[in-house]
Amino acid sequence: MGKTLAVNAGSSTLKFKLFEVPSEEVITSGVIERIGLKDSIVTIKYGDGKKFENTQDVKDHEAAIHLMLDKLLELKILKSYDEITGIGHRIVAGGEFFTDSVLVDDDALKKIEDLAEYAPLHNPAEAMGIRAFKKILPDVPNVAVFDTSFHTTMPKVNYMYAIPYEYYEKYGARKYGAHGTSHRYVASRAAKMLGKPLEDLKLITMHIGAGASITAIKNGKSFDTSMGFTPLAGIMMATRSGDIDASLVTFLMEKLNIKDPNDMINILNKKSGLVGVSEYSADMRDLEKVQDHNDKAHLARDMYINRIVRYVGQYVAEMNGVDAIVFSAGVGENDIPIRQEVADKLSYFGIAVDPEKNNIRGVERDLSTADAKVKTLLIPTDEELMIVRDVERLAKK
């Protein structure tokens, strides 16, 4: 018996979940926000609906980790630090170095830091978190779990861009994808729900939330995915544009008198997508409430559905068929009309959702009609659980 931490460190945040292992029961979860800024916010949920909240200054990630561990003791969630037997870290970019999760040694940590140019807002903070945990709990194994590693199985024809080949050789310019841990988890659950080996299935998994990606999984491996060199590519998202003509980017830079490319990337990452089109909200729930009398909100939802359908259709063609499609993440798990409309538009492939079965949020379920040729599944994602399982798998070695 032990306890494993699943950690997600951002540039100014530290999110965590503590699991009992091997039972995989969640003991507590929390987040420290505004690290390095004045009035950092600490939230810890534990026990039977209990919550600790406080506002205080937290100067850096090391201080945040000390604070988190101290609070776990103060709240009697832990009796001592010795109960923690493993720590798993979500890492955004693993490049071509990491095809699987790894126990973090000095070499792995250096590579994570070297990959910062692929995820400048994430990898440095994640590396900082690992260093802090290794310093505070030196005898506890740390495991890095990469968003990209699941997608390293994609065939070259799917991950290469049609640009000069030397850019790939010199600079690693290729598709890496993201949300791999989520896609890996829901694919394994889908196989169990269908009662078939994952290796025998063709699946399309849809992680659609604020960030959104769609993945074709063939013979248990990532075959293609919608996100690209960065998570900006693919379908329309809450604040991200998704796919866009590169020439339009330079055209807009001229029209808007933007000199710094990063300013344009910021617009595409943070001011586009649902919020950009609707000019109202990045939250799909808000748009659903007003779409009947707000044309732009209605358009934003229609575009979102349209982009999902495009990618699913593309992946059915690429894999020459599909056994099941899977809805997951915030929108996929909770937006009943989106699921119904997507399925209705894919009826040509033998996809059909039963409206009564679909009238549910956040519960694992087969949504298909009795005569559907392709199964439609609702599977809530659990990236933290996948991280914990990787910690247990690798720490035992």
Q: What is the overall mean pLDDT for the chain?
A: 93
**DSSP structure class, residue 143:** E
- pLDDT at res. 34: 87
- pLDDT at res. 48: 86
Q: How confident is the model at residue 144 (pLDDT cuts 50, 70, 90)?
A: very high
Q: Which residue would you say has higher pLDDT here, 161 or 397?
A: 161
Does 334 carry a binding-site annotation? yes
Same domain (yes/no): 245, 306: yes
18-39 burial code (b ≥16 CB/10 A, e <16): bbebeeeebbbbbbbbebeeee
| Beta-carbon-side half-sphere exposure of residue 121 (alpha carbons within 13 Å) | 7
Same domain (yes/no): 216, 107: no
Same domain (yes/no): 87, 236: no
Q: Which residues pair with 89 in a beta bridge?
A: 7, 144
CA distances 232 to 55, 178, 188, 213, 217, Å, are 33, 10, 26, 10, 21
Q: How many domains does the chain have?
A: 2
Percent over 70 (pLDDT), the chain? 99
Which residues have a Cβ under 8 Å from the Cβ of 168 and sit 6 or more positions away?
Answer: 160, 161, 174
- pLDDT at res. 221: 97
Q: Which residues pair with 85 in a beta bridge?
A: none
Same domain (yes/no): 252, 312: yes
Domain boundary among 146, 161, 184: 146
Give the pLDDT mean for 235-241.
94
Give the pLDDT mean for 269-273.
93
Four-residue CA torsion sign, 241, 362, 183, 341 = negative
Q: With a cut of 90, say whether residue 234 has pLDDT above it.
A: yes
Same domain (yes/no): 233, 372: yes
Q: With a cut of 90, say whether residue 379 has pLDDT above it.
A: yes
Give the domain range for residue 312: 196-383
Residue type, 70: D
pLDDT in tens, 188-209: 999 999 999 999 999 999 999 8
153 in any annotated domain: no
Mean pLDDT is lowest, of 8-12, 57-61, 80-84, 236-240, for: 8-12
Same domain (yes/no): 42, 134: yes
> Hey, which residues are catalytic here?
147
- pLDDT at res. 35: 87
Percent over 90 (pLDDT), the chain? 80
Give the pLDDT mean for 368-377.
97
Give the pLDDT mean for 358-372.
95
186 in any annotated domain: no
Distance CA 169, CA 315 (A): 27
Q: Which residue would you say has higher pLDDT here, 313 or 40?
A: 313
- pLDDT at res. 74: 92
Q: With a cut of 80, say whether residue 11 has pLDDT above it.
A: no
Same domain (yes/no): 258, 358: yes
Same domain (yes/no): 43, 127: yes
Domain boundary among 115, 146, 177: 146
361 in any annotated domain: yes
The CATH number of whichever domain residue 139 belongs to comes to 3.30.420.40
Q: Which two tokens stand for residue 262?
A: 């990063």
Same domain (yes/no): 206, 77: no
- pLDDT at res. 272: 95
Q: How confident is the model at residue 325 (pLDDT cuts 50, 70, 90)?
A: very high
Does 285 carry a binding-site annotation? yes
Does 207 carry a binding-site annotation? yes
Domain boundary among 146, 163, 180: 146
Give the pLDDT mean for 72-86.
92
218 in any annotated domain: yes
Give the pLDDT mean for 308-323.
97
Does 360 carry a binding-site annotation? no
Does 94 carry a binding-site annotation? no
pLDDT in tens, 240-250: 999 999 999 99
Whether 215 contacts 204, CB under 8 Å: yes
Q: With a cut of 90, say whether residue 132 has pLDDT above it.
A: no
Does 332 carry a binding-site annotation? yes
Does 209 carry a binding-site annotation? yes
Which range of 35-44, 215-224, 286-295 scores highest in mean pLDDT? It is: 215-224
Residue reference for tokens 């988190």: 68
Same domain (yes/no): 236, 325: yes
CB atoms within 10 A of CB 71: 19
- The SS3 of residue 364 is coil
370 in any annotated domain: yes
Does 310 carry a binding-site annotation? no
- pLDDT at res. 363: 94
Same domain (yes/no): 57, 201: no
- pLDDT at res. 123: 86
173 in any annotated domain: no
Distance CA 385, CA 389 (A): 6
pLDDT in tens, 99-122: 999 999 999 999 999 998 888 778
Same domain (yes/no): 333, 204: yes
181 in any annotated domain: no
Does 177 carry a binding-site annotation? no
- pLDDT at res. 23: 93
Q: How confident is the model at residue 61 (pLDDT cuts 50, 70, 90)?
A: confident
- pLDDT at res. 110: 93
392 in any annotated domain: no
Pairing of strands 142-146, 102-103: antiparallel
Give the pLDDT mean for 1-28.
89
- pLDDT at res. 39: 86
Burial of 110 (0-12, 13-18, 19+ CB in 10 A): exposed
